[in-house]
Amino acid sequence: MTTEIDAGLAAKVAQHIDEDRLVRLVQEVCRIPSILGEEGPLATYLAGVMNDSGFAGVELQPVIGDRPNAIGHLDFGTGDGPNVVLTGHMDTKPVSHGWEVSQPFSGDLIDGSIYGHGIMDMKAALVCQIIAMEALRASGLELDGRVSFAAVSDHMGDQTGAITYFKEHPGDLCVLGELSDNEIFLGHRGRYYYDIIVRGISAHTCHKPLAVNANMLAAHAIIELDQSKLEPQLEEWVTELFGPETYMSPGRVYGGLPPGGPSMIPDECVIRVDCRPQPGVTLEEVRAEIDRCLAKAKEREPRFEAEVVLADVKSGYLAEPEAKVTMLMREAVESVRGEKAELQVAGWLGDTASFGGDIPTIIFGPGGEPVYCPDEHLSIDDIVEATKVYATFAALALTAES
């Protein structure tokens, strides 16, 4: 339960948030393209902001080529307290078509909102975290420990930036600034990729009776996989948060020959099955469901044969509702907002898939669905509220009484 002390602490920290600087920096990061593979300029900019602000340990941490992480920290008191990490990713998806109110990299301020591609996922949160750290330093509160910042690259690739950071810089508590509509997310589903390699017999199209079309065989598997409804046995509270079904979709199909090529009936087709399991669902459970679907495909078409390959694994993540990191975030949100904070989960995949098992993490950030749509924007009110929550969370974590 939030106490008067918590509310007073939140108010004291909030007084030191420079809202004009916050808005200006959010606008500036929106003007720096950072589509996956092009994170370097944004990393350089954020490192410059930290250097100018007097952060310690500022570094462009090498990750992949010219795509570094931007990291730094602030120390408080004796430094013997916990290390609280505020983190998020810099990379975005490609720009959507159809922008009308503004332009993707304008950073325009229109009717109390800032417009920019990727502002919700998650450029604004990165700035909120830096400004929150500055407010914490300016507040003069008696704190002990460290607050670290890590803007990471390659989230939408192999999460290499997050893996690299936490391998070299372990922490005690973490907040991931993924978009949660300023609500508390305990975690997210995982992602298992399976490739179903279906093989037939090739022939020239003029010799169709001699061929077994791999695309045709794969179609039977696609139908069965699409109709899958796997509902594994999970703890009741996990099912209540995520729902009962492990979603599975034959999302990509690679088969046949490109247009303009020679005439040939294909002998191979690959189906990429995208599985989104709740935390606790095993690879064995998903594989068993895939095997069941493929057996049904063979019942439909006796010539069906396939090889199954596990192509990628990203684990789900789920913080316990009573964990310290969860309770601190609830206190922070409730002290800032003045109302009870609910616990939710996400369907998307966060970097916590790669580091959540090593450091207790809670997810909180401004912005929500839909994201990566034309005229993506975020209200200043939401940006300011997120900054207050980040600063209050860190203050609570670094207060001796906590």
- In this model, does residue 247 exceed pLDDT 80? yes
Instruction: Tally Cβ neighbours within 10 Å of residue 355.
Output: 24
* The pLDDT of residue 258: 78
* pLDDT greater at residue 255 or residue 232: 232
User: Structure pTM?
Assistant: 0.93
Which of 232-236, 263-267, 269-273 shows the lowest mean pLDDT across its residues?
263-267
pLDDT at 400 over 60: no
Report the C-alpha gap between 265 and 305 in whole angstroms: 17
The mean predicted confidence, pLDDT, of the chain is 95
Task: Determine the Cα–Cα distance for residues 389 and 15; give it in Å rounded to an integer.
Answer: 13
pLDDT of 402 higher than 60: no
Strand 306-314 versus strand 191-199 pairing type: antiparallel
The arithmetic mean of pLDDT across residues 172-181, rounded, is 98
Sketch out the chain's domains with CATH numbers.
4-188+316-398 (3.40.630.10), 191-313 (3.30.70.360)
Residues sharing a CB contact under 8 Å with residue 335, sequence separation 6 or more, in sequence order:
2, 6, 7, 9, 10, 392
Q: Quick check: 256 pLDDT over 90?
A: no
Average pLDDT estimate for 328-347: 95
pLDDT band for 8, please (50, 70, 90 cuts). Answer: confident
CA 78 to chain centre: 33
Checking if the pLDDT of 401 tops 70, the result is no
Q: What is the pLDDT of residue 370?
A: 87
| Rounded distance between C-alpha atoms, residue 285 and residue 283, angstroms | 5
- The H-assigned helical ranges of 140-176 are 160-168
Q: Residue 1 pLDDT more than 70?
A: no
Q: Does residue 57 contact residue 47 with C-beta atoms inside 8 Å? A: no
Write down the pLDDT at residue 260. 76
| pLDDT of the residue at 369 | 86
* Average pLDDT estimate for 272-276: 97
